[in-house]
Amino acid sequence: MTAAQQGRTGVAVIGLGGAVATTAVAGVEQMRLGSSTTAGLPFAHREDLVPYEALVFGGWDLDADDLAKAAHVHRVLEPAQIEAVAEQMERIRPWPAVADPAWCRNATGTNVVGIGPLRERVAHVRADLRRFRESEGLDRVVVVNLASTEAWPDLTSAVLADLDTFEKGLDADESVITPGMIYCYAAITEGCPYVNFTPSFTDVPALLELADREGVPVAGKDGKTGQTFIKTVLAPAFRSRALQVEGWYSTNILGNRDGMILDDPSSLASKLDTKGSVLDSILGYDVEDHIVRIDYYRPRGDAKEAWDNIDLVGFLGQRMQLKVDFLCRDSILAAPLVLELVRLIAEAHRRGEGGPQEQLGFFFKAPVTQVGKSPEHALHVQERILLDWLDRR
């Protein structure tokens, strides 16, 4: 039996009311109504994967608004596009979220579970997942993290270093354990594949160990949609032609909620970190003048602009410059990738492949690997690895 034949697959989204999630849900609802647009969906032709129409959405959000209302607020889609599927989207209402302002200052809301002991929070999330699976009659539930970026935890903490200390940390309510880790822990424990599309750090050794032990596939982190997508396309080409990158200046302006969250320096640090090492890894040498800026700039809303300037040195030391201006749409790029990730990690689950899914690095700025391994960043290499994996079935 192929995944495609397995019937209904649940998608439990952390941050269900956000711009990416509502866009993804609207897209699936349009497909259910017969739309066949496949732009942005690189695996649309793969009939061996779970069909988009078999995806059933649920999840958590700090805001209790139904998804139609939320989609109107985000203004990613045109009013007419939301209206066309409003009836379906109004039926979906986020469950109360496990959140903690200590980890994400600018994200606040009223649809929250009171901050109790960590073990209680885990139990709450697990109960949500079980209820979702049963009430909807789902064969499988994939958990996808699309929540606002959290501040980085102290990664040197022994609590995060292995599963044993982590579980003791849960018992002791250790403050280094973030809401994102709670969701991730609960998902794996419930046997649900887990995809982290955000820069938040949930791929700590303890949780990778748990995923390995439980045979549950996990993937992340930080969706590669805009500037870093282009960077991992251009950098391999410069290396191919031995054009030396002397400097690379990247700036991003964006005005959606994601941008507002990144206006908080502690969240920004998480984001910048996942963007940072990509370049040197591809080129094979350190680019000293690699600068990345992200600025919250409201006039654009969800329409992000990424401007890059690259200084190149060519034959006999002669200099050249290349500039790229990407007027993109954050959620429009992200939403279809989230759908593909759900389909692909469901396939990994079906194949019984647990732990970090390195073949899904194609989708991420900071691909999660087995502990100690360096990720591949060049887009075309990532694509080949993924296609080879798909064909290995």
Tell me which residues in 290-349 interact with its own copies (CB under 8 A).
Answer: 291, 293, 295, 297-300, 305, 307, 309, 311, 313-329, 332-333, 335-337
Question: Is 184 or 243 the residue whose CB approaches its own copies more closely?
Answer: 243
> In angstroms, rounded to a whole number, what is the distance separating the alpha carbons of residues 325 and 302?
16
Neighbours of 362 (CB within 10 A): 25
Determine the 3-state secondary structure of 144 from DSSP.
strand
Nearer of residues 79 and 116 to its own copies, judged by Cβ: 79
Closer to its own copies at the Cβ: 37 or 370? 37
State in angstroms the smallest separation of the CB of 61 from its own copies.
21
Nearest distance from C-beta of residue 390 to its own copies, angstroms = 13
Strands 217-220 and 244-254: unpaired
Q: Which stretch binds its own copies (CB under 8 A): 138-146, 183-191, 346-354, 378-386?
A: 378-386
Instruction: Kindly state the smallest distance separating residue 254's Cβ from its own copies, in Å.
Output: 11
Write out the binding residues for its own copies, residues 10-69 only, by CB under 8 A. Answer: 23, 26-27, 30, 37-42, 44
Closest approach of Cβ 273 to its own copies, in Å? 18
Q: Please identify, using beta-carbon distances, which residue of 243 and 345 lies nearer to its own copies.
A: 243
Interface map 170-209 toward its own copies (x if CB under 8 A): ----------------------------------------
Minimal distance in Å, beta carbon 203 to its own copies?
Answer: 23
Assess 272 for contact with its own copies (CB under 8 A): no
Indicate left, alpha or beta for 368 from its phi (over 0: left) and psi (-120 to 50: alpha). beta
* Residues 281, 105: Cα–Cα separation, whole Å: 32
Size of the site for its own copies (CB under 8 A): 71
**CA distance linking residue 112 with residue 326, whole number of Å:** 36
Closest CA to 346 of 18, 22, 56, 29: 56
Count the neighbouring beta carbons within 10 Å of the beta carbon of residue 286: 9
DSSP element (H, E) containing 119: helix 118-136
DSSP 275-342: HHTHHHHHHTS--TEEEEEEEE-GGGTT--EEEEEEEEE-GGG-EEEEEEEEE--HHHHHHHHHHHHH
For residue 13, the cross-strand partners are 59, 144
Q: Are 170 and 230 in contact (CB under 8 A)?
A: no
3-state secondary structure at position 360: helix
Q: Please say which residue, 72 or 300, places its beta carbon nearer to its own copies.
A: 300
The minimum distance between CB 277 and its own copies, in angstroms, equals 19
Interaction residues for its own copies, span 208-247 (CB under 8 A): 229-230, 233-234, 236-237, 240-244, 246-247
Among 249, 266, 281, 353, which residue sits at the site for its own copies (rule: CB under 8 A)? 249
Beta bridge partners of 293: 251
Q: Which is nearer to its own copies, 7 or 42 (CB)?
A: 42
* Residues within window 68-107 making contact with its own copies, judged by CB under 8 A: 76-77, 79-81
Residue 114 or 317 with smaller CB distance to its own copies: 317
Q: Residue 134 or 288: which CB sits closer to its own copies? A: 288
Q: Which amino acid is at 67?
A: L
**d(C-alpha 349, C-alpha 335), whole Å:** 21
